[in-house]
């Protein structure tokens, strides 16, 4: 695979929304989309930080993005953001579900869900569902997972509201990334069954240097561990720009098949993007259907039945 960002086509006239675009993979993804002519909506929890980042993106990308306030750990915020987008635009060409938290100490979302599953999966599930009317025009949804989905063997409804006493941060992270893939593939199945013009695909960055590695220790108040994690990551990981390649490939490669999953080419660790395989668990349609039902009940959003019926 010799793909590079130079192979991204002209995106003039295309509108993209990128979650978590103020740093790391999301920032690099938004930057390349801007450089190739797209109109980019930068969705982020902190509007002040997002405004500052938007200035940098404008300078480096040659185009000014739009800032959208979005807290994926708050379903009311998700609804407000989706309504703002829906009242402003008549379509979205690309939704990149990128934002996430990793290996955090035990926390709950505003709505009482375990933070990692609540943010990484349920927030994006609700956002995608609410934006779906704008996406059924030959658009793409790219949901970012992780090779850490391989570390868990399943997921249950209890995981969504797992209590602190049984919480294990890396297991919860792996399950949230498994949920991302189960959602990606189930969305693909459902939109194809409905005859909708939407491509649902997944991506993962391999091991890339981002703020995620230090955010968990910082949230736990462990400054020493955060510094060690940052130093170790910078030593062995590929750059955030390289980590964004699979997302960009998934978002823009013309001949990508529905339900594809894209990761780095070198043992899925680093390098140029290629289509890779999820685990059997991630490809389990029955588990995906159960997760979908749990997610509908948890969020009050039904992306298929309320939009595609």
Kindly report the backbone phi and psi dihedral angles of residue 114, in degrees, each rounded to the nearest multiple of 5, phi listed first: -55, 135
Estimate the crossing angle of helix 169-193 against helix 124-135, to 10 degrees: 20
SS3 label, residue 139: strand
Question: Which pairs with CB-CB distance under 8 Å and at least 24 residues apart come from 116-120?
Answer: 116/169, 116/172, 116/173, 116/175, 116/176, 117/159, 117/160, 117/162, 117/172, 117/175, 117/176, 117/179, 118/72, 118/73, 118/160, 119/72, 119/73, 119/176, 120/72, 120/173, 120/176, 120/177, 120/179, 120/180
32 alpha-carbon distance from chain centroid:
16
Distances (CA, A) of 98 to 2, 49, 162: 24, 17, 23
- Active-site residue, 145 included: yes
Task: Residue 231: count other Cβ atoms within 10 Å of its Cβ.
Answer: 11
Residues composing the chain: 309
Q: Out of 27, 173, 207, 249, which one is annotated catalytic?
A: 173
Q: Out of 139, 177, 200, 295, which one is annotated catalytic?
A: 177
- Active-site residue, 249 included: no
Q: Out of 77, 145, 260, 295, which one is annotated catalytic?
A: 145
Contact 226, 169 (CB under 8 A): no
- Active-site residue, 177 included: yes
Contact 91, 17 (CB under 8 A): no
Distances (CA, A) of 157 to 153, 208, 244: 14, 30, 31
Kindly report the backbone phi and psi dihedral angles of residue 186, in degrees, each rounded to the nearest multiple of 5, phi listed first: -70, -40
User: If you ran DSSP here, which 8-state letter would residue 108 be given?
Assistant: B
Active site residues: 145, 173, 177
């Amino acid at each position: 695979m010799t793909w590079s960002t130079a192979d991204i086509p002209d995106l003039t006239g295309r509108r993209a929304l990128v979650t978590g675009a103020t740093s790391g993979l999301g920032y690099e993804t938004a930057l390349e989309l801007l450089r190739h002519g797209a109109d980019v909506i930068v969705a982020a929890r902190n509007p002040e930080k997002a405004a500052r980042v938007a200035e940098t993106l404008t300078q480096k990308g040659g185009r000014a993005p739009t800032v959208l306030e979005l807290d994926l750990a708050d379903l009311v915020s998700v609804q407000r953001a989706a309504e703002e987008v829906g009242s402003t635009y008549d379509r979205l060409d690309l939704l990149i579900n990128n934002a996430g938290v990793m290996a955090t100490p035990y926390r709950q979302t505003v709505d009482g869900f375990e933070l990692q599953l609540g943010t990484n999966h349920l927030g994006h599930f609700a956002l995608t569902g609410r934006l779906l009317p704008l996406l059924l025009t030959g658009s793409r949804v790219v949901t970012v997972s992780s090779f850490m989905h391989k570390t868990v063997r399943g997921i249950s409804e209890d995981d969504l509201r797992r209590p602190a006493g049984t919480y294990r941060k890396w297991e919860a992270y792996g399950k949230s990334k498994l949920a991302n893939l189960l959602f990606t593939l189930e969305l693909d199945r459902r939109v194809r069954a409905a005859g909708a013009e939407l491509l649902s695909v997944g991506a993962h960055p391999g091991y890339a240097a981002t703020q995620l590695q230090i955010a968990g220790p910082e949230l736990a108040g462990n400054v020493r561990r955060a510094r060690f994690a940052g130093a170790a990551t910078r030593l062995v990981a590929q750059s955030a720009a390289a980590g964004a390649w699979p997302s960009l490939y998934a978002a823009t490669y013309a001949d990508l098949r529905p339900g594809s999953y894209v990761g780095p080419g070198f043992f899925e660790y680093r390098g140029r993007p290629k289509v890779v395989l999820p685990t059997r668990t991630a490809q389990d349609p029955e588990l995906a259907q159960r997760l979908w039902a749990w997610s509908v009940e948890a969020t009050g959003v039904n992306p298929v039945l309320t939009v595609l019926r």
